[in-house]
Structure 1
Amino acid sequence: MEHSMEKEKERKIKMEEPSKKSVPILPWMRSPIDVSIYEDCPLETLPCLDSRLKVPLQSMGISLLFPVQVAVWQETVGPGSFERDVCINSPTGSGKTLAYALPIVQTLSKRAVRCLRALVVLPTRDLALQVKEVFAAIAPAVGLSVGLAVGQSSIADEIAELIKRPKLEAGICYDPEDISQELQSAVDILVATPGRLMDHINTTKGFTLEHLCYLIRPTINFNDLSTFSPGIVIHNARHYRTGPSYGPDDVFASVIVTHSNVEIVVDETDRLLREAYQAWLPTVLQLTRINHESHVPCVNTFLPSTFGSLKTIRRCGVERGFKDKPYPRLVKMVLSATLTQDPSKLAQLNLHHPLFLTTGESRYKLPEKLESYKLMCESKLKPLYLVALLKSLGGEKCIVFTSSVESTHRLCTLLNFFDDLKIKIKEYSGLQRQSVRSKTLKAFREGEIQVLVSSDAMTRGMDVEGVRNVINYDMPPYIKTYIHRAGRTARAGQTGRCFTLLRKVEVKRFKKQLQKADTNSCPVHTLPSKLIDSHHPLYLSALEKLKDTVESEASRKRKIGFKYSKMGKGK
Structure 2
Amino acid sequence: MEDSKQEKVPVLPWMRNPIDVSLFEECPLRLLPCLDPRLEEALQKMGVNSLFPVQAAVWQETIGPGGFERDLCINSPTGSGKTMAYALPIVQKLSTRTIKCLRALVVLPTRDLALQVKEVFAAIAPSVGLSVGLAVGQSSIADEIAELIKRPKLELGICYDPEDLWMKPQGSVDILVATPGRLMDHINTTEGFTLEHLSYLVVDETDRLLREAYQSWLPTVLQLTCSSEDILFPHARLFTPSALGSLKTIRRSGIERGFKGKPCPRLMKMILSATLTQDPSKLAQLELHHPLLLTTGPRRYKLPEKLESYITICTSKLKPLYLVGLLQELKGEKCIVFTKSVESTHRLSTLLNLFGGLQFNIKEYSGLQRQSVRSKTLRAFREGEIQVLVSSDAMTRGMDVEGVTTVINYDMPAYTKTYIHRAGRTARAGQTGSCFTLLLRGEVKRFKKLLQKADKNPCPVYSLPSDSIESLRPLYSSALEKLKESVESETLKRHIVFQLPSRNSKMSMDVVYAKVVSPSRLDLLSCSKG
- Contact 1:148–1:192, Cα closer than 8 Å, also in 2: yes
User: Unpaired segments of 5 or more residues in structure 1?
Assistant: 1-13, 226-238, 240-244, 247-276, 301-311
The 3-state SS of whatever aligns with 1:112 is: coil
The 3-state SS of whatever aligns with 2:198 is: coil
Pick aligned residue for 1:128 from 101, 114, 119: 114
- State percent identity of aligned pairs: 73
The 3-state SS of whatever aligns with 1:549 is: helix
The 3-state SS of whatever aligns with 1:102 is: helix
CA-CA distance at 1:356 after TM superposition: 1.7
Matched, 1:496 2:482: no
Matched with 1:29 is 15
Matched, 1:464 2:401: yes
Matched with 1:273 is none
Matched with 2:142 is 156
Matched, 1:60 2:60: no
CA-CA distance at 1:148 after TM superposition: 2.1
CA-CA distance at 1:115 after TM superposition: 0.9
Q: Deviations over 1:447-496 (max 9, x none)?
A: 10000000000000111000000000000000000000000000111110
Question: What CA distance in whole angstroms lies between the structure 1 residues aligned with 2:411 and 2:175?
Answer: 39
Pick aligned residue for 2:360 from 420, 423, 426: 423
- Contact 1:117–1:188, Cα closer than 8 Å, also in 2: yes
- Cα gap change, 1:95/1:426 in structure 2, threshold over 3 Å: closer, same or farther? same
Question: What CA distance in whole angstroms lies between the structure 2 residues aligned with 1:86 and 1:145?
Answer: 24
Amino acid across the alignment from 1:535? L
Matched with 1:40 is 26
- Contact 2:323–2:410, Cα closer than 8 Å, also in 1: yes
Aligned residues: 489
Normalising by structure 1, we get a TM-score of: 0.80
Pick aligned residue for 2:101 from 115, 120, 130: 115
- Contact 2:105–2:198, Cα closer than 8 Å, also in 1: no
Pick aligned residue for 2:351 from 410, 414, 421: 414
Amino acid across the alignment from 2:337? V
Matched with 2:35 is 49
- Cα gap change, 1:32/1:149 in structure 2, threshold over 3 Å: closer, same or farther? closer
Question: What CA distance in whole angstroms lies between the structure 1 residues aligned with 2:218 and 2:499?
Answer: 40
Question: What CA distance in whole angstroms lies between the structure 2 residues aligned with 1:457 and 1:292?
Answer: 39
- Cα gap change, 1:176/1:387 in structure 2, threshold over 3 Å: closer, same or farther? farther
Pick aligned residue for 1:486 from 393, 404, 423: 423
CA-CA distance at 1:420 after TM superposition: 0.8
- Cα gap change, 1:119/1:169 in structure 2, threshold over 3 Å: closer, same or farther? farther
Matched with 1:396 is 333
Pick aligned residue for 1:512 from 449, 455, 459: 449
Q: Deviations over 1:507-534 (max 9, x none)?
A: 0000101111132331011112232222
The 3-state SS of whatever aligns with 1:288 is: helix
Pick aligned residue for 1:182 from 168, 174, 177: 168
Amino acid across the alignment from 2:195? L
Amino acid across the alignment from 2:146? A
| Residue range with higher mean Cα deviation, 161-170 or 478-487 | 161-170
Amino acid across the alignment from 2:111? R
Alpha-carbon RMSD across the aligned residues, in angstroms, is 2.9
Matched, 1:101 2:41: no
Normalising by structure 2, we get a TM-score of: 0.86
- Contact 1:127–1:461, Cα closer than 8 Å, also in 2: yes
CA-CA distance at 1:182 after TM superposition: 3.3
- Cα gap change, 1:317/1:558 in structure 2, threshold over 3 Å: closer, same or farther? closer
Amino acid across the alignment from 1:72? V
Pick aligned residue for 2:462 from 498, 517, 525: 525
Matched with 2:60 is 74
- Contact 1:149–1:190, Cα closer than 8 Å, also in 2: yes
The 3-state SS of whatever aligns with 2:381 is: helix
Matched with 1:331 is 268
Question: What CA distance in whole angstroms lies between the structure 1 residues aligned with 2:345 and 2:12?
Answer: 41
Matched with 1:316 is 256
Matched with 2:178 is 192
Question: What CA distance in whole angstroms lies between the structure 2 residues aligned with 1:168 and 1:192?
Answer: 31
- Contact 2:101–2:197, Cα closer than 8 Å, also in 1: no
Matched, 1:90 2:26: no
Matched with 2:520 is none
The 3-state SS of whatever aligns with 1:457 is: helix
- Cα gap change, 1:120/1:356 in structure 2, threshold over 3 Å: closer, same or farther? closer
